[in-house]
Structure 1
């Protein structure tokens, strides 16, 4: 049954990520005084929760992340069409699984979720974080929301990282992307063996972003299904590090 499939996959993903993190933590390095405050917002997938993903932060042990504020919000509980209307944590509605490049889109629900993400970003910037040090990351449904959130945010952010995500909107949204948002870089990672969000859905991302004038680094992972791998998280750490701005 479809009801159990996405949740089971997401629980397996979180469990494997947590195990890797706990087994591979090196010692913390001294805090570098030159690094300004930064912010990483992590958006989980369908049926998951923010707290279940918090161990991801322990992987980011480079001293550049000692001044990083992490946020792992949980999606509200909503009925989900692909799971026969079952109520579960969901940022917006998903009509079918597997998700293909041509799957139906819940743009109205998506835009409501984007407003909530923008509120979190606004609050962090108001607290003193430079927008260039704000990074939004997400897995699966959270990856789709990440993409929409950074493209529709009116300022240039440090970056948006999409894992096993898809394009949750139609091409008409390009008209709403500001010149500042087009300067926000995108990292897109996708497993070739993904049977929940098909690889073709991920492959549709770079051409869309190129058409919109947005820079995107796309990385394909052979043999990887609908989960986050150790290599993806290691690359994310390096990708963010190269984009962090110092306080000087």
Structure 2
């Protein structure tokens, strides 16, 4: 019998204004939602109609660290190599947990999928891509920062038709020693080969981190994909 993974905790920042859109953003390996919460404060100032959700990854045994418990979305079994076997079971389990958050936004809070952006950094980027590409929903957008494609040899056999309408913003530093820049390039090439609309931004001399320039570009992506809704009142 398949066990149901526990519900994730999250740092949630309600929209300062009328809530009409949501950003769900996943942190990287060893981090927590609190690590990205300051970005949510910037989003709130820039787009007061947007609620931000920063889920916390559970602490799981990490093989490369001798089984030590660390916050992670899936196990790491060796040095990062796209041809290395990935922890698919862990990825899919985390995807299921993120989908619970997505469905709560849609079914409880009344935010349609086309007003939801999924994003993430590093491991969180991998999870955002897996969740967004497999979902039955047409999301407003996907944000992929300093990551790589999950299950790259089979993911395109698992994607939904709805996901092909979802725009993707991909940012990567060309000095990244953790997730090599070439992995980002190869991932984007795979997506574009299958007709996905990807905006790929290179950040010169940036390592495995996020820069102010990249965050500004991400906010601009939000402005285009989840703009403030303006309701026109007909004149009588």
Q: Secondary structure at the residue paired with 1:60?
A: helix
Q: Which residue of 2 aligns with 1:122?
A: 103
Sort the Cα spacing of 1:176 and 1:247 in 2 relative to 1 into closer, same or farther, 3 A: farther
Distance in 2 of aligned mates of 1:137 and 1:219: 15
Which is helix-richer, 1 or 2?
Answer: 1
Q: Which of 152, 157, 176 is 2:139 aligned to?
A: 157
| Distance in 2 between residues matched to 1:111 and 1:213, nearest whole Å | 24
CA contact (8 A) 1:143 1:166 kept: yes
| Pick aligned residue for 2:20 from 19, 23, 37 | 37
Deviation at 1:62, TM superposition (A): 5.1
Which residue is 1:72 aligned to?
54
Structure 2 residue 165 is matched with structure 1 residue 183: yes
Deviates more, 1:166-175 or 1:87-96: 166-175
Within a 5 Å distance, the mapping from 1:10-49 to structure 2 comes to 37-49=20-32
Aligned positions, number: 214
Residues 121 and 145 in structure 2, CA contact (< 8 A), matched pair in contact too: yes
TM-score, reference length from structure 2: 0.85
CA distance in 2, matches of 1:203, 1:84: 31
Q: Is the 8 A contact 1:188 1:217 kept in 2?
A: yes
Contact 2:43 2:50 in 1 (8 A): no
- For structure 2, the residue ranges without an aligned partner over 5 or more in a row are 1-15, 232-236
Unmatched tracts of structure 1, length 5 or more:
1-29
Match for residue 223 of structure 2 among 223, 233, 241: 241
1:152 CA displacement:
0.7
SS of the equivalent of 2:51 reads: strand
Paired residue secondary structure (1:197):
coil
Q: 3-state DSSP class of the match of 1:209?
A: helix
Q: Tell me if structure 1 keeps the 8 A contact 2:44–2:50.
A: no
Aligned to 2:78: 96
User: Distance in 2 between the 1:101 and 1:242 partners?
Assistant: 32
Note the C-alpha offset of 1:184: 1.0
Deviations 1:120-163 (A, max 9, x none): 11110112112111011111100111111110111110111011
1:102-117, aligned counterparts within 5 Å?
102-117=83-98
Shift of 1:36: 6.0
Q: 2:205 — aligned with what?
A: 223
8 Å Cα contact 2:26-2:119 kept in structure 1? yes
2:11 corresponding residue in structure 1: none
**Displacement of 1:66 after TM fit?**
1.0
Could you say if the C-alpha distance between residues 229 and 103 of structure 1 is closer, same or farther in structure 2, counting changes exceeding 3 Å? farther
